[in-house]
Each structure stands twice: as C-alpha cells, then as structure tokens.
C-alpha cells in the first residue's frame, strides 16, 4: 500500500539526503533545511544520538513483535511513564507510527451508531480514523464555532428524534495546531461547546506538543485547560522529540482499552527500542532546557513571519503567529490546483538547485476530499539562525518573482 500523500515523500532515489537538521546534505552538498518539523532540534543533539546508539548495542535494532506478545521492552514502559507524568495524565500508550496513532485511537472508541464532529482541516490520519470507525461523521468549517455548534445541535436533535437507543458516544476531534494551514485551533471555545452539548473530545497535539504552553504541553496548556477535561490526547514523537512514532494520553481506562482495541498497537511491531530510548532523553532535554529551546523557537517563528509576510503579491502567508509551521498559498485566478502544484514545485526545485534551500509543497492524499489548497510548507526550528531565515526569504522572493512572472 502506498503511503498517504499528506506531504511530499522524499525517497532515496528522488533525493539522496543525510544529516537531517537545520542543515542537511542533499546530493552531496549542504542545504538549508526548512522542510523538516524538527522543532526543537532534538535530532541534532548529541545526547539523543548517544542514547539511541547505546540502545542498539543493548537491544539490537528492532523489537521483533507487537507489544502484547514479545515486543515490550523496558524503555517502552519508561517512555510511557515519563510522557504521562509530563502531560499530567494517568497513563500513556506508544504507537510505532505517528500517522496511525489517531487512526487507531478513534476506531477503538467509536463504532457504527456513534457520532464524530471533526474539523475539516484535520490531517489525513485523523480523517482516516473517523472513516474506519464507521461512525456518523460530520465535518465543521475550520475554526468556525458557529458551524461547529450547528453540527453539535444537529446530532443532539437527531438523537432525540430517532426513537432508537441513544447514541452511546459523541466525539469532537481537532488538532492543536492545524497541519493544513498552521492555524491555532480555538480550543477554549471548543471546550465550552463540548461541555455544553455533552460531547467527548480528542485533541491531536502533534504540532503543538513542545511548542505551545508554558512548559510545552501543547494547546491545552496554552489555553489553561486542565488535562482532566480532555478525554483523549494524541501526538507525534517526531516533531518535537526527534524520534518516530506517536503516543496517546488519558485516564487508565482510556489507555488500557487501547492495549486490546488499538489496531496499530495490537497488530504492529512495537517501536524499535532505540527510538524509545531517544524519546526518553529528548523528553528529559525538553524539561531541562525548556526555556532556552522554546524561547529560541519563538524568536525564529517571529522572524519567519516578519521576513516571509510579503514574499510575492501572489503568495499569501498563513499560520498562527505562534506556529512553527507556515504556509505560502498561491493565489492566481483561473489557475487550477494541479497547475498551482506544478508552479510551487518549480519554486522548490529552483530553490534547491540554485540557492541550496530545501522546501516542499504541501500535498494531500487523494482519499482526502476536504483538503486545503496547494501551498509551500515552511517549518522553522530552534536550530535555525536569523541569517538562515533572511537568506531563505530573500532567495524565495527572487525565485518566486522569476517563476510566477512566466
């Protein structure tokens, strides 16, 4: 099965690449990397690499089985315990693939006859989980609280009129920071509606974990929401902790249920131990060096938004001022989405070949019928320098002027 095309897939044949950090080596030459969501630079830290190397020497490379059989190693349990303590929840559970985390968690709790109200700008993994659950799924306009309330009312009224057994479970599903446009979800307002209409909620913190909140716990902490008010929290280990995989946090009941019902947990080989060991050290580094890392990231986010705001009249910048992900949307009347993708890809190709800058076009799965518009995706990290950002903005401005005037 092909990987979902949520974002550009850089294969070895397409783009030989190594030493992925703020600078990486592509086709034998160093380039500035604004394509990777390594927000706090954990992949570049020596202590994280040393921990991974020691784990390989101790455990070998793979785990050789699912968690419920013989794939559970002590570092899995250690990382789960540390994540739960950091997120202030009862327990956490690890998944070996971040895109499969929400796609496994949602069907574990929702089934035919249940109801899900999902932000239409959520990533493909979340939407796939909604589809696999076979629940009644309604999508609301991104960050539109009026539309969300309308959808919640409809489901409540339909439940009253149906005459059949009351719907058992009703969920709202959102991301902390939206993967399609970098917007910060209005989680404070959503929580008010969630409690007003008696829904449960799943919040995916993949892009906000380690980025938002005083201690980096994500959008919930940013809005001052106690973790106990959120039934399910999911997130990726790749964006902030520099590892691979994902995790889900919640009460003991929420986590224990997934150990028997989460298909990505039960039927996939567990996370390789060296990646769990890397996650343990990265999480400790986040806690010990939080202020310096997060402050540097915020400074770079502000610099990116300042320098990329007026790149070209046809390129519109989107993304919240607190988001490390920004998107440049091509706005050209009479141009179809496929042609826009070609133009944007041409910009990326020219940046790489002429200016040694790596950017990607934000792409979507063909299965996603409610995806956003084509755009350039720009990921800034704490490892970038202000000079990296200004050089990239100046180069992009020159290339966009050349390509978009054709």
Q: Helix 145-161 to helix 187-196 angle, to the nearest 10 degrees?
A: 20
147, 120 Cβ separation under 8 angstroms: no
Residue of higher predicted confidence among 169 and 14: 169
Q: Helix 290-308 to helix 273-288 angle, to the nearest 10 degrees?
A: 90
Distance between start and end Cα atoms, the chain: 38
As a whole number of angstroms, the distance between CA 265 and CA 107 comes to: 12
Please write the tens of the pLDDT for every residue from 180-193: 899 999 999 999 99
Please write the tens of the pLDDT for every residue from 206-249: 999 999 999 999 999 999 999 999 999 999 999 999 999 999 99
pLDDT of residue 19: 57
Please write the tens of the pLDDT for every residue from 81-105: 999 999 999 999 999 999 999 999 9
288, 111 Cβ separation under 8 angstroms: no
The answer on pLDDT for 11 being more than 50 is no
pLDDT of residue 384: 96
279, 243 Cβ separation under 8 angstroms: yes
The answer on pLDDT for 69 being more than 60 is yes
Residue 65: φ, ψ to 5°: 175, 165
- Give me the chain's average pLDDT, please: 91
Per the document, the length of the chain is 406
Query: For 153-167, what is the mean pLDDT?
Result: 76
The answer on pLDDT for 167 being more than 70 is no
pLDDT of residue 14: 43
Please write the tens of the pLDDT for every residue from 113-147: 999 999 999 998 999 999 999 999 999 999 999 99
pLDDT of residue 185: 96
Query: Regarding beta strands 375-379 and 325-330, do their DSSP bridges make them parallel or antiparallel, or are they unpaired?
Result: antiparallel
Under the banding of pLDDT at 50, 70 and 90, the label for residue 48 is: very high
pLDDT of residue 324: 97
> Hunting for tokens 């902490």 — which residue is that?
221
As a whole number of angstroms, the distance between CA 125 and CA 95 comes to: 13
As a whole number of angstroms, the distance between CA 179 and CA 385 comes to: 24
The answer on pLDDT for 302 being more than 50 is yes
Tell me whether residue 145 is exposed, middle or buried, using C-beta atoms within 10 angstroms of its C-beta: 0 to 12, 13 to 18, 19 or more: middle
Please write the tens of the pLDDT for every residue from 329-386: 998 877 888 899 999 999 999 999 999 999 999 877 666 666 677 899 999 999 999 9
pLDDT > 90: percent of the chain = 81
DSSP state of 267: S
As a whole number of angstroms, the distance between CA 228 and CA 253 comes to: 13
pLDDT of residue 9: 43
């Amino acid at each position: 099965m092909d990987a979902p095309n949520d974002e550009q897939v850089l294969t070895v044949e397409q783009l030989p690449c190594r030493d992925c950090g703020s600078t990486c080596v592509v086709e034998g030459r160093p380039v500035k990397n604004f394509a990777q969501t390594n927000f706090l630079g954990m992949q570049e830290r020596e202590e994280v690499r040393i921990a991974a190397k020691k784990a390989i020497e101790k455990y070998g490379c793979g785990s050789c089985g699912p968690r419920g059989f013989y794939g559970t190693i002590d570092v899995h349990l250690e990382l789960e315990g540390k994540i739960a303590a950091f997120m202030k929840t009862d327990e956490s559970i690890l998944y070996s693939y971040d895109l499969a985390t929400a796609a496994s968690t949602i069907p574990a709790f929702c089934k035919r006859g249940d109801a899900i109200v999902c932000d239409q700008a959520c990533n493909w993994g979340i939407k796939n989980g909604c589809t696999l659950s076979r629940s009644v799924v309604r999508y609301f306009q991104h960050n539109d609280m009026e539309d969300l309330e309308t959808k919640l009312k409809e489901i409540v009224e339909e439940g009253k009129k149906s005459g059949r057994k009351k719907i058992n479970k009703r969920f709202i599903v959102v991301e902390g920071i939206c993967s399609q446009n970098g917007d910060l979800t209005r989680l404070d307002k959503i929580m008010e509606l969630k409690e007003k209409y008696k829904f449960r909620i799943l919040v995916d913190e993949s892009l906000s974990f380690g980025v938002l909140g005083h201690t980096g716990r994500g959008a919930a902490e940013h809005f001052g929401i106690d973790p106990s008010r959120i039934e399910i929290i999911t997130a990726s280990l790749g964006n902030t902790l520099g590892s691979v995989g994902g995790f889900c946090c919640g009460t003991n009941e929420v986590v224990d249920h997934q150990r028997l019902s989460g298909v990505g947990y039960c039927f996939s080989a567990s996370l390789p131990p060296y990646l769990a060991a890397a996650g343990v050290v990265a999480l400790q580094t986040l806690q010990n060096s939080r202020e310096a890392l997060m402050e540097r990231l915020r400074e770079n986010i502000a610099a990116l938004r300042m320098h990329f705001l007026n790149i070209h009249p046809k390129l519109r910048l989107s993304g919240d001022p607190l988001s490390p992900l920004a998107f440049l949307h091509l706005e050209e009347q009479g141009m179809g989405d496929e042609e826009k993708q070609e133009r944007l890809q041409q910009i990326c190709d020219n940046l790489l070949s002429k200016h040694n800058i790596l950017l990607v076009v934000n792409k979507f799965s063909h299965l996603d019928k409610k995806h956003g518009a084509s755009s350039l995706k720009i990921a800034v990290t704490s490892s970038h320098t202000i000079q990296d950002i200004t050089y990239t903005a100046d180069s992009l401005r020159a290339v966009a002027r050349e390509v978009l005037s054709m």
